[in-house]
Structures are given as structure tokens and as C-alpha cells.
């Protein structure tokens, strides 16, 4: 085990997969200088500009090139810099990558990974702070991943690169510096498996990405109900067996996420649990407002440990 950061874990995962498979490569803006957050490190020096490829400032061009290259047999890792910027490449990702296998009767596949960093980070304001994961879970054909720890960012990115379907991969920008133990020799994770991080008896809390750490903080607050915290890890496919098993035992389910509550993926999980199990459910997400630059206003959109604990108490009635 080595203690490395969430950012370093992703660099390690990409390096290992590029060493393992010469068909793995990456493209995006500023990768030659390490990427906007430094997550590509010295990979261009190690592998050369043909495999760590700098591109023009055109998200649709980047994604379109990756879709074509994936259909021709390579495994591109597509850097979109910010989740918000990927909206300039929606047609290529949603209408081409996600549908190619279906439209060609299984004769073509698009094994690409689109890295879309999400979340609030250092007063980055309305166009650089969004969590849009529910947009991609809505699209048939896409796999959606959101790691919360360095170990998962390592294991899940490796799994995503090996996946034969297009993967939308969400790293939270505020977790880049988070450190944790990573086993470099561990096998890639299995997509679609959640993890119970903290057992509890009163309320099942399902969450992902940075909100996992907020939920664990809520579980430790004095006077908080006994919370069972589940890190979903993969939003699509999501681990119904783990979530339903926990919710059936506690009888109460709270889904918490940093994304806007309206239309958030938490609503899907809550609805499934209510329909299948009949348990009490609640959702906790950001208000439907743009994320402001000013910190006091930005904080109005944050999901806090106190808010999670309060929502859990409401479920207890």
C-alpha cells in the first residue's frame, strides 16, 4: 500500500493501463503540461505526444475524434477539463457514442472514457462548479462512475478504461488533494458495485463522490441517528442489491448529493426503493440555483453534515 492523493491515483491508473495496453491513449487540452489540475503528470514525456495528445480548444472536436478512434479499435481517455464544458460535446457523446453499439446491431463498440470533473471548488462560480451526473444516467448506453477515494479513483478508472461501453467518469475537483492508501497491484474494481462504508441501524444514507465524506461526518455528529452510509461508486449501473438490502433492514432511505435536487439521480433511487420496498424515503440536494462565486452565496448550495443529520432525523419522525 502507498499513501497517495486522489489526483495521483488517477495518474497512476492511466499510466498502468497505458503500459498494459498500447491501444490506450488520452486526448484533450493542455495534457502536455499535465492537464489543468496536473492529473496527467509527466505522462506525455513518458509516452509521447501521439498517446498523450494535445488538442485544439473544441470539445466537440475532441469528443468526435475519440468516438471515431474508439470505433476503430483504440481506447481513448477523453479529458473535458470541467463537467460543464462537456455540454459542448453532447451530440458526440449522447447521439453517437451512447447509441453506436445498438444502432449497428452490436457490430461496433465505443470503449472510451470521458473524464468530467464535477463539483464546487475554490469559488469557481456558475460555469465551472456543476455536478451534472444525472444528465448522463438518463442516457441509455452510457456507464456513469463517481469515485470518492484515492483507492476507488485508481481501481474504477482502470475498470472504466477496460469497459467496452462509453464511460462518463466524474472526479470531484475538491477531492484532488485527498490522500489515502492505494494498492498499485490491486485488480480493477467491478463497475456496478456499491460499498457500505459505515454500518448503522436507523437510516440508510446513499451517496457518492465528495458527499460520501460529508455523510460520514454526519454519522459521527453527536445526537445523529445511527446512519448506514453507502458509497454508490457507480451511478449506472447502480447496485440495487446493496441499497435495497440496507434500506429493507433500516426501513428508511435518504439519498444525498451535491447536484441540484430537482431532477437529481437521488430521485431515481428513492423512487425505486419506495416502489420496490415501500420504505420511507427522502432526498437531499442543492437548491435549484446557479452556484455563485462569493463564498457566502456558494455555501447556500452546499450539502452539509448538519443538513444530512437533520434529514435523517426527519425520517425517524
**pLDDT at position 133, please?**
96
Asked if 170 is an active-site residue, the reply is: no
The C-alpha atoms of residue 127 and residue 84 are separated, in whole angstroms, by 6
Q: Establish whether domains 2-182 and 195-316 are of one fold.
A: yes
**pLDDT at position 127, please?**
81
Cis peptide preceding 237, ω within 30 of 0:
yes
CB atoms closer than 10 angstroms to residue 72: 9
Structure-block grid coordinates of residue 75:
481506447
Domain boundaries, the chain: 2-182, 195-316
Q: Which residue has the cell 428508511?
A: 252
Q: Which of 128, 154, 170, 172 is catalytic?
A: 128
Q: Using alpha carbons only, give the angle 38, 39, 42 rounded to the nearest 5 degrees.
A: 75
The C-alpha atoms of residue 252 and residue 32 are separated, in whole angstroms, by 48
Pick the CATH number of 2-182 from 3.80.10.10, 3.30.365.10, 3.40.50.970, 3.40.710.10: 3.40.50.970
pTM over 0.75: yes
User: DSSP letters of 33-83?
Assistant: GT-TTSTTTTHHHHH-TTTEEE--S-HHHHHHHHHHHHHTT-EEEEE-SSG
The C-alpha atoms of residue 130 and residue 138 are separated, in whole angstroms, by 17
Q: Which residue has the cell 451511478?
A: 235
In tens digits, what is the pLDDT along the chain, a chain of 317 residues?
899 999 999 999 999 999 999 999 999 999 999 998 999 999 999 999 999 999 999 999 999 999 999 999 999 999 999 888 899 999 999 999 999 999 999 999 999 999 999 998 887 888 887 999 999 999 999 999 999 999 999 999 999 999 999 999 999 999 999 999 999 999 999 999 999 999 999 999 999 999 999 999 999 997 889 999 999 999 999 999 999 999 999 999 999 999 999 999 999 999 999 999 999 999 999 999 999 889 998 998 999 999 999 999 999 98
**pLDDT at position 57, please?**
94
Give pairs for 305-309: CB < 8 Å, separation 24+: 305/214, 305/215, 305/217, 305/218, 305/221, 306/218, 306/221, 308/205, 308/214, 308/215, 308/218, 308/227, 308/254, 308/256, 308/284, 309/218, 309/221, 309/223, 309/224, 309/225, 309/227
Q: What CATH code is assigned to 195-316?
A: 3.40.50.920
Whole-angstrom CA distances from 150 to 12, 155, 186 are 10, 9, 13
**pLDDT at position 139, please?**
97
Amino acid at each position: 500500500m502507498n499513501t497517495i492523493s486522489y489526483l495521483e491515483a488517477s495518474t497512476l491508473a492511466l499510466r498502468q493501463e497505458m503500459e498494459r495496453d498500447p491501444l490506450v491513449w488520452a486526448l484533450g487540452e493542455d495534457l502536455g503540461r499535465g492537464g489543468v489540475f496536473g492529473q496527467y503528470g509527466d505522462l506525455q514525456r513518458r509516452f509521447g505526444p501521439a498517446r498523450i495528445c494535445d488538442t485544439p480548444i473544441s470539445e466537440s472536436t475532441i469528443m468526435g475524434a475519440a468516438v471515431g478512434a474508439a470505433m476503430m479499435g483504440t481506447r481513448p481517455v477523453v479529458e473535458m477539463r470541467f463537467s460543464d464544458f462537456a455540454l459542448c460535446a453532447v451530440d458526440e457523446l449522447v447521439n453517437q457514442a451512447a447509441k453506436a453499439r445498438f444502432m449497428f446491431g452490436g457490430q461496433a463498440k465505443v470503449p472510451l472514457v470521458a473524464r468530467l470533473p464535477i463539483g464546487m471548488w475554490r469559488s469557481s462560480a456558475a460555469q465551472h462548479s456543476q455536478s451534472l451526473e444525472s444528465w448522463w444516467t438518463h442516457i441509455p448506453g452510457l456507464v456513469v462512475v463517481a469515485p470518492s477515494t484515492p483507492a476507488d479513483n485508481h481501481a474504477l478508472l482502470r475498470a472504466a478504461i477496460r469497459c467496452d461501453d462509453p464511460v462518463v467518469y466524474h472526479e470531484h475537483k475538491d477531492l484532488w488533494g485527498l490522500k489515502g492508501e492505494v494498492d498499485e497491484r490491486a485488480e480493477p474494481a467491478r463497475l456496478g458495485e456499491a460499498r457500505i462504508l459505515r454500518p448503522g441501524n436507523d437510516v440508510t444514507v446513499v451517496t457518492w463522490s465528495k458527499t460520501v465524506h460529508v455523510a460520514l461526518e454526519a454519522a459521527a455528529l453527536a445526537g445523529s441517528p445511527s446512519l448506514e452510509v453507502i458509497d454508490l461508486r457507480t451511478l449506472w449501473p447502480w447496485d440495487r442489491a446493496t441499497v435495497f438490502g440496507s434500506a429493507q433492514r433500516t426501513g428508511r432511505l435518504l439519498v444525498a448529493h451535491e447536484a441540484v435536487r430537482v431532477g437529481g439521480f437521488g430521485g431515481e433511487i428513492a423512487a425505486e426503493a419506495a416502489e420496490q420496498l415501500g420504505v420511507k424515503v427522502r432526498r437531499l440536494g442543492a437548491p435549484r440555483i446557479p452556484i455563485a462565486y462569493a463564498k457566502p452565496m456558494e455555501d447556500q448550495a452546499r450539502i452539509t453534515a448538519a443538513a444530512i443529520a437533520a434529514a435523517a432525523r426527519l425520517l425517524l419522525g
